[in-house]
Structure 1
Amino acid sequence: MTQKERLLHGLYFDASDPEIHQDRMRAQRLINQYNRLEETEQEEAQRILHELLGSIEGHCYFVPPIFIDYGHNIHIGDGTFVNTGFTALDSGKIHIGRRTFIGPHVSIYTPHHPLLAEERNTYHECGRPVTIGDDVWIGGSATILGGVTIGDGAVIGAGSVVTRDIPARVLAVGNPCRVLRPITEADRVLG
């Protein structure tokens, strides 16, 4: 099994492998192109995103600048909006649902490194997946760690560090992020 196959299967892989390095360089080239676009160049922006990311269902929008490790492990639902300063370290799969709002400077970190220094120093890592449901709102500067699932309709407060699963339709905040309360009809603001 190649190192890239190991990466794609969520196994420990050698991040210094030449094929893995080429994937990162490809992503960096596309990200640099994307980050230099003018606001009016939406057709080119969509072309680059479709080339960079593993899949896009419909239309999504990322406000530059963005930073992504590989891109091929990221899958985005239709109508998703990602604000400026987005970072996704995608050695593990990242699935972001439809109509999800991601605030500025949100980071998703899927890599997991060995705890023993002598193993960590071999450049081996594995990716733990992140799944974000439909209609989620993630507040600015939130950090989501690998292995986490955020349920449909959840709201993650700004600055939260999400270290464990968050159920659907709840408001969750803090470091570590914890469920504050359910989201109910009492939260409706538009009549």
Structure 2
Amino acid sequence: MTEKDKMLKGVYYDSRDSELIKMYHKARKLLKKYNNIDSELVVQREQILAELLEFKGNGVWIESPFFCDYGENISIGENTFVNTNCMFLDNNKITIGKNGLIAPYVQIYTASHPLKASERIIGKGIGSRYLTSTKPVNIGDNVWIGGNSVIFPGVTIGHNVTIGAGSVVTKSLPDNVLAFGNPCKIRSEL
């Protein structure tokens, strides 16, 4: 099993594996192009996103700057808007449905590490490695995520959900709810 296979299966893997580093560098080159291209060059922006992402539905708009680890693990449904300065750490699959609104500075994480340093760090000094595992994140259709929110690994957000700004989403949310806070909690049904 390759380190990429391990990463996507959610078992501990070496994030400095040569295949993963190659994917990382490819994403960095595409992100540099995307984040520096004139906003009026819509066709070229679309082409870069199509090369970067696993899937991009029609009408997806991502404001720059945008940041991710690999890009190829991100799928975004049609007509979804991702605002400026979002960070998607796609060490596992990030799936976002259609008609989403993702506000500025939203962070979506799929990677995690052991809590105890003695279990997290392998080796000493230069060349040390850190155990990493992953869980996918799934976001339904018609979801609005407020600015500066953080979505944790393994979270599933249902359809028609609104998440208030500044929320830290540590647990999955069902369809049709308003949720906010740190930690994010359901406040009402919609």
TM beyond 0.5:
yes
**Number of aligned residue pairs:** 183
- Aligned with residue 170 of structure 1, among 139, 156, 177: 177
1:22 deviates by: 1.1
Letter aligned with residue 21 of structure 2: H
Q: 1:100-119 CA distances to partner (integer Å, 9 max, x unpaired)?
A: 00001100011011223233
Answer with 96-105 or 110-119: which moved more.
110-119
Q: Name the residue aligned to 2:166.
A: 159
Alpha-carbon distance in 2 for matches of 1:33, 1:119: 38
Alpha-carbon distance in 2 for matches of 1:177, 1:166: 9
Q: Is 1:67 paired with 2:67?
A: yes
Alpha-carbon distance in 1 for matches of 2:65, 2:176: 30
Q: 1:142-191 CA distances to partner (integer Å, 9 max, x unpaired)?
A: 110011011100000000000001111111010000000011xxxxxxxx
Q: 1:114-146 CA distances to partner (integer Å, 9 max, x unpaired)?
A: 223233223221211110000000001111001
User: Identity over aligned residues, as a percent?
Assistant: 45
State whether residues 93 and 127 of structure 1, in contact with CA within 8 Å, keep that contact through their aligned partners in structure 2: no
1:58 deviates by: 2.2
TM-score (norm 1): 0.93
Structure 1 segments, 4+ long, off by >3 Å, are none
What RMSD over aligned residues (CA atoms) do the two structures have, in Å? 1.0
- The gaps in structure 2 that reach 5 residues or longer are 122-128
Letter aligned with residue 117 of structure 2: A
TM-score (norm 2): 0.93
Q: Name the residue aligned to 1:87.
A: 87
1:19 deviates by: 1.2
Q: Name the residue aligned to 2:131.
A: 124
Q: Name the residue aligned to 1:103.
A: 103
